[in-house]
Chains A and B, each alone.
Chain A
Amino acid sequence: MRQYFGTKGNPAAAWVGLALVGVALLLLPWVLSAIGTAWVRILNLAILFVLLSLGLNIVVGFAGLLDLGYIAFYAVGAYVYALLASPHFDLHLPFWIILPLGAGLACFFGVLLGAPTLKLRGDYLAIVTLGFGEIIRIFLNNLSQPVNLTNGPQGITLIDPFRIGSFNFAKPEKILGLDFTGPVKYYYFLVVVVIVIIVLNLRLQNSRIGRAWEAIREDEVAARAMGINTRNMKLLAFAMGASFGGISGGIFSATQGFISPESFVLVESIMVLSMVVLGGMGNVFGVILGALLLSFVPEVLRYTVEPVQMAVFGRTLIEPEVIRMLLFGLALVLMMLYRPAGLLPSALRKRELEGKR
């Protein structure tokens, strides 16, 4: 535990820190609801991006495999849920069966998409993975004939929310005197999932498998010379990353209630990759920070930019969407100039941990 939280051998401080974070997490949705009901939805989307970033971090950060088509696995997970829990095929399986199925199918696609890329490096790997991401999206967009599998560009609507017995995640209700709306219920579910995924990631990183991935990232030739089966390890990285994407996709489907191929375009893959790179590739907490920043800041800007411009200039000079893109680009340029290793770079964390060993 200690080694992850940089407390220099002070376990008491680590536990107090964790407790504070825990309390903050518990209270967060209520605080945000007070500001506006939309913010809890935005928070949930941010957490989904955190999950995606953690998954992609395994592929890009740990194993060093540049994947530009990661959103395809999100799409697979989302569509598996949508097809098995909606009026489309009139199947209504429970989420605790579908999510593992979605993860499994995404995992299978991860291996399928990873297998042809094993001899590729760098740019070529990126292009092929980008291609695969697009292939998945185009398939989803076109599998409406001759058999209507995915309903094409119209997408799938009326997707079932999560249900455990009579407890419906989408239904607003009062529990213990507090107003639990749908998004608030999903929030707590997501927090549990995120904590599990974080623990999984940290355990993977600090294991024989994690070290093998890092060896491949650092020097694949040397890794092979030391006996690491690089083919299997790379496939494993793709498979694990994809399965996390698949789980996130399933949750996304349920929270939105509607999905279409438009949610899984290339720019989304690039967004997730940006979160991983911005946060610090390979560093689990850096990646979480990157994901939260890149999800929240644009939304915050969307809500503040207009009023600020109105107040200062009396009219809207620049559309919020445009400002968002400008600032996003500026942020990336600044990062690459001044902190190319990311906000919380991996090597830095290692050096911080040095004192402990």
Chain B
Amino acid sequence: MSPELALLTAKGISKRFGGVHALADVDFTINHGEVYGLIGPNGAGKTSLFNVLTGIYSPDGGAFTFDGLPLAGLKPNDVAARGIARTFQNIRLFANLSALENVMIGRHVRTHANVFGAIFRDRKTLAEEEAIEKRAHELLEYVGVAKRANTLAKHLAYGDQRRLEIARALATEPKLLALDEPAAGMNATETASLKALLSDIRRDGITILLIEHDMKLVMSVCDRVLVLDYGKKIAEGSAAEVQKNEKVIAAYLGGEVSLNLKGA
């Protein structure tokens, strides 16, 4: 892993909440163009790591370097501007807005119209608005929710909501797409369709960081995986390596058991 390939480097990331060590000295590297998995039992600190990465929490120790520049002290909106977009474990869509509007809002960070543009509707603003709407339609098509463009987000089926959230994140033109349990609650068909979407996103040059509990998905889609347990990194490596790692198996199953994953 030469430095030129690295998109995101984390060194010594720590986060405490009172006495709870949500993250303790976590190091990892994500390379350009890979699909990087983040796994661990519940409470391991995966979402906390996301929150520290995207500026919702500030780390108590350690630093990130993203695309060559430090990510220190940035607010969430600045992190998005830098090129990291995320989805949420509990789906945080703009419930009373339509699917199309949700994705259009994703374009905010890459567009510029201000109050005067809004009021006077000059040609540049109108052109930008048209481009926003067009791109939003394209992204809805891309994730497979195009038929529901005008449905309010709160009325969408669960699987569509998850995909809409991905479309909205893609609208920000991220270099790194951080997905928090995108397959949660999905059946086998939906998961397969998500897997296809992730392949498309990777093919289009976006690096993916993926928190997931669905081990089949993780093992088949991720190039490398980071395993956390109680806030500490217990393994980092290729999916195959990590799968056989004793510490990882122990963390998930609490003992010396061999993990037998069919088809992974």
Contact residues of A with B, CB < 8 Å?
A: 200, 203-204, 207-212, 214-215, 218-219, 221-230, 236, 240, 346-347, 350-351, 354, 357
- Per-position 1/0 for B145-162, Cβ under 8 A of A: 000011110000000000
Q: How far is the CA of A208 from the CA of B101 in the complex (A)?
A: 10
| Contact flag A227-B172 (CB < 8 Å), given A208-B113, A209-B114 | yes
Q: Is the CB of A214 within 8 A of B94?
A: yes
CA distance A218 to B111 in the complex (A): 21
With A212-B105, A225-B86, A226-B85 as given contacts, are A207 and B94 in contact (CB-CB < 8 Å)? no
B77 in contact (CB, < 8 A): yes
A211 touching B101 in the complex, CB below 8 Å, given contacts A218-B95, A222-B88, A357-B149: yes
Q: Please, could you name 29 A-B residue pairs with CB atoms under 8 Å apart, sorted by A?
A: A200-B119, A203-B118, A203-B119, A204-B119, A207-B118, A207-B125, A208-B132, A209-B113, A209-B115, A211-B101, A211-B105, A214-B97, A218-B95, A218-B97, A219-B93, A219-B95, A225-B76, A225-B77, A225-B88, A225-B92, A226-B80, A226-B85, A227-B77, A228-B77, A228-B105, A240-B115, A347-B96, A350-B97, A350-B152
Question: How many A-B residue contacts, CB cutoff 8 Å?
Answer: 110
> Is the pair B168, A224 in contact by a Cβ cutoff of 8 Å?
no
Instruction: Check B77 against A229 for contact (C-beta < 8 Å).
Output: yes
A-chain residues with CB within 8 Å of residue B106 when the two chains form the complex: 226
Given contacts A207-B113, A208-B129, A219-B94, contact A227 B101 (CB under 8 A): no
Known: A208-B113, A209-B113, A209-B115. A226 touches B105 (CB 8 A): yes
Bound form: Cα–Cα A210–B149 in Å: 19
Nearest CB of chain A from residue B232's CB, rounded to whole Å: 26
The 8 Å CB contact of A222, one of B75, B93, B114, B117, is: B93
| Interface assignment of B98: CB less than 8 Å from any CB of chain A | yes
Q: Which residues of A contact B119 (CB under 8 A)?
A: 200, 203-204
B56 within 8 A of A: yes
Name the residue in B88, B101, B111, B115 with the highest tally of chain A Cβ atoms < 10 Å from its Cβ: B115
* A350 to chain B: closest residue by CB: B98
When C-beta atoms are compared, the residue in chain B nearest to A232 turns out to be B77
Whether B100 is near chain A, meaning CB under 8 Å from some CB there, is yes
CB-contact partner of A221 in B56, B98, B101, B121, under 8 A:
B56
Q: Ordered nearest first, which 7 A-B pairs have the shortest CB separation?
A: A227-B109, A207-B118, A227-B80, A218-B94, A222-B92, A224-B76, A354-B150
CB distance from A6 to the nearest CB of B (A): 15
Interface-centre pick from A225, A229, A347 (highest chain B CB count, 10 A)? A225
| Residue among B86, B105, B169 having the largest count of chain A Cβ atoms under 10 Å | B105
A208, B130: Cα distance in complex, Å: 11
Most chain B CB within 10 A, of A218, A226, A230, A351, is at: A226
Given A225-B54, A226-B172, residue A207 in contact with residue B101 (CB < 8 A): no
Q: A residues within 8 A CB of B118?
A: 203-204, 207-210
Q: Which residues from B are CB-within-8-Å of A200?
A: 119
B77 with A230: CB separation less than 8 A: yes
Contact of B104 among A211, A224, A229 (CB under 8 A): A211
Residues of the A chain whose Cβ atoms lie less than 8 Å from the Cβ of B244? none
Q: How far is the CA of A212 from the CA of B128 in the complex (A)?
A: 15
| Interface pair B152/A224, CB less than 8 Å apart | no
- Quick one: which of B77, B132, B152, B168 has the most chain A CB within 10 A? B77
